[in-house]
């Protein structure tokens, strides 16, 4: 049975770090919408060129284009034995489309990483990114350290002042609450406490996935 995992969580929850860590542990691809969008543009696929034209006009990539890009990525051989989705879906419409894509796949396990807003504001206010590749650094990694992906130097984000952070969180909650409601009724949905040490979060994530895989009723690991 393939392990198909969808990770939800607000900015600063550590979702990307945990997704990458889990994917490496299980030997399955971590599929980030940002990564596959950039790849589709770089490789000049038909849908990638459509996306590029949209972005060049300064517009947001539509659901239709994002769904097409995700569909193409999930049809690749390396995703046949499972994957970790990070950053998609972002809306209920995208979630419904993903259900259609998953018709011929094993069930989708959904884990929501929950972190109090005060902690998210603290984390985002001190977050750093790589100057070269733009990757977000794990929470707590100091400015000036080397990026784990490319070796570039980490620098402080310039857009993470408190007002911007609060607005981003407001936008996330407005968009994500319907998405959580969409998934939480399923026996393969779990929520975990993300306001812990990363190793503890990783352990809770593994336990939540194991419970969901066994078909237990919906619940939380706290």
Residue 160 has a pLDDT of 59
Instruction: Find the helix or strand (DSSP H, E) in which 149 lies.
Output: none
Among the listed residues 90, 122, 184, 186, the single catalytic one is 90
Query: Which tokens hold the place of 38?
Result: 């950039």
- How far lies 213's CA from each of 9, 42, 86, 202, in Å? 20, 36, 19, 16
Reported as a single tens digit per residue, the pLDDT across 206-219 is 999 999 988 644 44
Among the listed residues 38, 71, 168, 186, the single catalytic one is 168
* Percentage above 90 pLDDT, the chain: 40
The yes-or-no verdict on residue 20 having pLDDT over 50 is yes
Task: State how far the Cα of 110 lies from the Cα of 219, in Å rounded to an integer.
Answer: 11
The yes-or-no verdict on residue 220 having pLDDT over 80 is no
Band of pLDDT at residue 204, cut at 50, 70 and 90: very high
Is the four-CA dihedral 167, 128, 136, 183 of positive or negative sign?
negative
Distance of CA 156 to the CA centre of its chain: 22
Active site residue 44: no
Question: Greater confidence, 213 or 176?
Answer: 213
Among the listed residues 30, 50, 123, 157, the single catalytic one is 157
- CATH ID of 3-116+183-221, from 3.10.620.30, 3.40.50.300, 3.40.190.10, 3.30.450.270: 3.40.50.300
Contact status, residue 157 vs residue 129, Cβ threshold 8 Å: yes
Active site residue 157: yes
Contact status, residue 115 vs residue 195, Cβ threshold 8 Å: yes
Active site residue 168: yes
Reported as a single tens digit per residue, the pLDDT across 111-163 is 999 999 888 888 777 778 888 887 777 766 667 889 888 989 888 766 556 77
Would you tell me how many other CB atoms lie within 10 Å of the CB of residue 220? 14
- Rounded-to-10 torsion of CA 125, 222, 192, 197: 50
The yes-or-no verdict on residue 83 having pLDDT over 90 is yes
Question: Greater confidence, 87 or 85?
Answer: 85
Among the listed residues 21, 123, 127, 190, the single catalytic one is 127
Least confident range of 31-40, 97-106, 154-163: 154-163
Averaged confidence pLDDT in the chain:
85
- The average pLDDT across 72-95 equals 91
> pTM (2 decimals)?
0.78
Residue 127 has a pLDDT of 72
Tokens 């659901």 sit at which residue? Answer: 63
Contact status, residue 36 vs residue 68, Cβ threshold 8 Å: no
Domain residue spans in the chain? 3-116+183-221
Active site residue 15: yes
DSSP H stretches of helix in the chain: 15-26, 33-42, 46-56, 63-74, 92-101, 117-125, 162-184, 198-213
Residue 40 has a pLDDT of 73
Task: State how far the Cα of 151 lies from the Cα of 153, in Å rounded to an integer.
Answer: 7
Active site residue 24: no
Least confident range of 73-82, 87-96, 151-160: 151-160
């Amino acid at each position: 049975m393939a392990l198909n995992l969808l990770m939800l969580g607000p900015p600063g929850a550590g979702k990307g770090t945990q997704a990458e860590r889990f994917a490496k542990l299980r030997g399955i691809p971590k599929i980030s919408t940002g990564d596959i969008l950039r790849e589709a543009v770089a490789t000049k696929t038909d849908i990638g060129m459509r996306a590029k034209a949209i972005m060049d006009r300064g517009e947001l990539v539509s659901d239709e284009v994002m769904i097409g890009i995700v569909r193409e990525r999930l049809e690749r051989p390396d995703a046949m034995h499972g994957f970790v989705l990070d950053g998609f879906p972002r809306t209920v419409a995208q979630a419904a489309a993903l259900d259609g894509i998953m018709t011929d796949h094993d069930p989708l396990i959904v884990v929501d990483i929950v972190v109090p807003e005060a902690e998210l504001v603290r984390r985002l206010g001190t977050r750093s990114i790589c100057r070269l590749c733009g990757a977000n650094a794990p929470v707590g990694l100091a400015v000036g350290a080397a990026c784990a992906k490319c070796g570039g130097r980490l620098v402080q984000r310039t857009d993470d002042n408190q007002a911007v952070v609060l607005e981003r969180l407001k936008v996330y909650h407005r968009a994500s609450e319907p998405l959580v409601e969409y998934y939480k009724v399923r026996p393969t949905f779990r929520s975990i406490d993300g306001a812990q040490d990363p190793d503890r979060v990783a352990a809770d994530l593994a336990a939540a996935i194991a419970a969901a895989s066994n078909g237990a009723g919906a619940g939380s690991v706290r």
